Structure 1
């Protein structure tokens, strides 16, 4: 999938230009989170699971272990540049490593006049755009409720980064056994495996971004590009807010990432490699609650 991302920019958005890599090299400005109503940990726990796509509690969440190389493809070049710069700022704020100019993209955000039809056509053509993604996950992504289509390719490795081989015979040739990892733990808290994000594609319908600000689009896209996410329903009155409601309820969506949105990204990338989903989400909830308490005291 990674090799197909550059080509897809032209396929999905004819005539579009990629945002310059210079945006990836600039130092990020400080990102301010506006004051939000304090929330109970129970409400934040529920939001956490929804945003992360209700992952299995004791499975690692996928994240980029290799530096991020971003491409944003849009018919409006100035908009692409602005969105790209904001996404890179968000990535750096979460301590995601970012590559400079001349890198091969492993994350693509593209805008299309008819995203679903174009993605279906690409799939039926046999192009290897979706390599590394199961047919079930492709179907789920193309059948998304929101006008946003997210494809994430990842692989499980040992926490050290070595590939995992299921048996000594796997991967061998001519009767010679393939490599075998020796994985052991000195304690129960040692994480043996991690989930490495290899490449991510996010395609958004152009009609859906009308009336939205570049900051809103970039902040939403940051979560979808950098972390495992799921579609989020409209929050009830008084419930925690999230930029993930941007397309299901644009009139009620926040103007930027919320405190929890940022805490999720921060926890995902600062926790030890291979941390379980419940550990990452719990850390994000605590980070959000602590930040709200600090803001209330000031």
Structure 2
């Protein structure tokens, strides 16, 4: 059975030789970590058109949880809010309009097909090919994001009826003249899959899938460890890992909001390597 908040609370060598420079040790350990961090980031991040920035939340996040006991839903929502705040995102108040929906269902794949047939509005402006991609996913969860175009500073430039109007202040090939702004995200999770998982594990998994266009890890690969392997790793992380926090921290860096996706992936690798060097624990 799902571990309740109360149950979760109840759970809770020699140095280098003098002839070997300390900064040399850092360099030797840093490059593999940086590459491993970037490689995993590239593996889990959905591909976008070359040179296009990745979509990010620009409004205060407001999670809503459905399909589960309200007490547990409130605990999950509170944890998602806490995670978002720690990553520097604004969080909506008690009466905010939900823009993150985490729904617990019997069969995620069947639920997606039902929404495509009977409630296509749930996919917003997603193209048919995107809906088909979501429907074709495997695993115990599904997730998608609805986004609009924004200017280089992250202000929306398109609404439902009006044309695109964009005034670019500086032309550069290093950054796109637009941003992509998430207006809503949906995460579906199968009820049977969360059996035995803690509130922290479920909420942290949902946090990753709601805040960024990342996929579930269906085959655990070891290091770097990620909460996205929650349903495939025999001994999954207890919550957001060093990699996960590095990913979200880099992803929501303001300087990257209109940079190509590759810039974000590189930044994830750097942040992960620095976090490992700083001695952070794998799960915080």
TM-based fold match above 0.5: yes
Say whether residues 1:260 and 2:243 are aligned partners: yes
Unaligned residue ranges in structure 2 (runs of 5+): 1-28
- The equivalent of 1:279 in structure 2 is 263
Paired with 1:49 and 1:222, the residues of 2 have a C-alpha distance of 18
RMSD: 2.4
Say whether residues 1:95 and 2:112 are aligned partners: no
More deviation in 141-150 or 110-119? Answer: 110-119
Q: CA deviation at 1:187?
A: 4.8
Q: 1:81 to 1:183 in 2, by over 3 A?
A: same
- The equivalent of 2:199 in structure 1 is 214
Q: CA deviation at 1:156?
A: 2.2
Q: CA deviation at 1:189?
A: 4.2
Paired with 1:211 and 1:287, the residues of 2 have a C-alpha distance of 32
1:243-272 CA-to-partner distances (Å, cap 9, x unmatched) read 11112x141321111111111111111232
Q: CA deviation at 1:126?
A: 4.9
- Residue 218 of structure 1 aligns to a residue whose secondary structure is helix
Paired with 2:164 and 2:197, the residues of 1 have a C-alpha distance of 51
- The equivalent of 1:23 in structure 2 is none
Aligned length in residues:
248
- The equivalent of 1:270 in structure 2 is 253
Is the 2:149–2:179 contact (alpha carbons within 8 Å) kept by the matching residues of 1? yes
- The equivalent of 2:34 in structure 1 is 41
Is the 1:109–1:203 contact (alpha carbons within 8 Å) kept by the matching residues of 2? yes
Say whether residues 1:106 and 2:99 are aligned partners: yes
Paired with 1:55 and 1:49, the residues of 2 have a C-alpha distance of 11
Q: CA deviation at 1:62?
A: 0.6
Q: 1:184 to 1:111 in 2, by over 3 A?
A: same
Is the 1:50–1:232 contact (alpha carbons within 8 Å) kept by the matching residues of 2? no
Paired with 2:254 and 2:276, the residues of 1 have a C-alpha distance of 21
Say whether residues 1:288 and 2:272 are aligned partners: yes
Q: 1:149 to 1:179 in 2, by over 3 A?
A: closer
Question: 5 Å matches for 1:193-272?
Answer: 193-237=178-222, 239-247=223-231, 249-272=232-255
Is the 1:158–1:164 contact (alpha carbons within 8 Å) kept by the matching residues of 2? no
Q: CA deviation at 1:184?
A: 4.4
Is the 2:247–2:268 contact (alpha carbons within 8 Å) kept by the matching residues of 1? yes
- The equivalent of 2:111 in structure 1 is 118
Unaligned residue ranges in structure 1 (runs of 5+): 1-36, 166-170, 173-177
Correspondent of 2:65 among 66, 69, 72: 72
Correspondent of 1:163 among 136, 146, 157: 157
Paired with 1:141 and 1:291, the residues of 2 have a C-alpha distance of 33
Paired with 1:183 and 1:251, the residues of 2 have a C-alpha distance of 50
What TM-score, normalized to structure 1?
0.75
Paired with 1:179 and 1:293, the residues of 2 have a C-alpha distance of 45
Q: CA deviation at 1:115?
A: 3.2
- Residue 264 of structure 2 aligns to a residue whose secondary structure is helix
